[in-house]
Structure 1
Amino acid sequence: MASPTDFQKYDSALLGILQHEGEVTKFLDVVFGFLFRKTDFYHVKTEEDPRYGFPEGVAENMIKSHFIKYKGVTERMVRAALERKKENEAKAPDNAETAPTESNAEKAPAESSDNDPKPQTSASTSAEPSTNEMPKTQEAFQSNPESYNGAVREKYSWSQNYEDLDIVIPVDKTIVKTDQVKVDVGKKSIYVSIVNASGETDVVIDGELTHEVRWTETTWSLEKGKCITISISKNVNFWFKALLTNEDEIDLKKIQPERSMADMAPDELAVINKLQFDEKQKRLGLPQSHELKVHEMLKQGWDAEGSPFKGQEFDPKMFNISPSSVQ
């Protein structure tokens, strides 16, 4: 699915409309009015004419789901900005004292490694929690943003939504440059390595992904001395039970599968709306979708030439229709 930045090419045109109308309310009226005049957005698809519109309730759900989607994006951006601000404020005293130049930043790891290797070991250990400290249940994974809908592993954690995967790899404080990191994501593979302070290469991840991904859209970043973050788009939108094929699988029944209805395929939406319609009809004591389909077929014979019911009002109560009678 497209991200918010994918639509920046339309900003000039949309800003022009917004500036001309002067109010968000009027801007929205323009947008929804366009859908009214030029599309079948407001038409309800029927059995008699299935060519136009959407099933009952789908258009409303689209509007609501898009609102929820971008509201969520905004909330995440605000939270991330506040977290970065808190982290920067907490680090400010240390940065003021150590703030190394580029040459000092390169030199510091070597000095630390030669003179006192123990702190390096300690730092590395703190970046990679021991097995005893690692959360092991899906409930624990869900409480951590870095393993939300995913899991915490020995050297990394991964999270997911319906479209994307995010991997967070803790690094030693000496990892301050991107050329110390190698990230290689293929169609169904991932390799991540780090050059440590002593110049040795530590392989963090090297394995086969459980499903194919859009490897060309992969992005990654290094937060100096803290972590590597890798973002990968899924090739097909569904939930991963594990990041790698040799990993333990997570319990998908315990994740939080938030998914916008606007992100679903038309056939999936049709199924969901059919279920919602049938549940509503059932509560009201009215015919469900499978019964209505049979009723339409029976009506054709009801008024056919030679039918004993011709000219009479169709009475669906005369028929007991099972759900299996129509596929």
Structure 2
Amino acid sequence: MAEDDKFDGMFLAMAQQHDGGVIEVIDTFFNFLARKTDFYTGASEIDTEKLIIEKFKKYQKKAFTEHDRKKVEYEEADRKKKERMRKKEEEERKAKAAAAAEPKIKELTDEEAKKLEEKLANNDQKKEVDNKEEKTEDDDEEEDEKDKGKLKPNAGNGADMAKYRWTQSLQEVEVNIPLGLKVKSRDVVVEWSKRKIKAGLKNAPPILEGELYNDVKVEECNWFLDNGTTLVLALEKVNQMEWWSRIITSDPEINTRKVNPEPSKLGDLDGETRGMVEKMMYDQRQKEMGLPTSDEQKKQDVLKKFMAQHPEMDFSKCKFN
């Protein structure tokens, strides 16, 4: 451990017990010097004040140097994040333009259907689409048996936990962790892999630690300090077609059926997936009205054409599925 960091754990632990912040910590420290040492009486008053001012200026200079360095670092991280968002928006704009040129409904081959099932596996996307139709307030009160006891999502489609708050879109998860005091980035520990995460203060138990709900793109994840008092984690999902029900597997789950899908309209999907989902929506509405799906309609049309071409044949005893 570096010499500068040797007592950080003790000082941070002490600081967390002072609701009044830094001023209260300083008051406690000088109170200790007055009661338990000869700091004030062991030298002249002038020498004591000179020593205090000398040390104050020494670390004031270091503090401003570190502040400027972190400001540049944060601005660079923010610039990169905005650039990534700009590229995503450009890709989404192109995807929307391409999708707009495609027919609203298209037939699925067996291969395409299988591909869609694999792409939507282990998520509630289809359930969200199927259940997106009109709901009354009474409907909101009724839950499936398996959803009972789950948390209701917050305004950001995540949850407000005891030690942190998280929100999500289909593409990204953001976690806000209040630290209780103002710290520097060197006082923070953040570690993650494709499926695990650990975050908190140095020399203290982690605030967030465990196995992630699903895989993240490690190279696209980042973190920063908001005003020095809140640790913000931005995690990019690998599967960008599902809602997470929790951040780590040991947390209570939210009810993803009650997630507000506003941040992820159909227009946000790529053209191929959008066409598949729109076909599913059309078929679901047809079933609810007791009407044939697009596949069934196609079969009926083929059969009618065949019957019209062969009026000599008797189809009265034939059964067609």
TM-score normalised over the length of structure 2: 0.48
Q: TM-score under structure 1 normalisation?
A: 0.47
Structure 1 or 2, whichever has the larger Rg, is 2
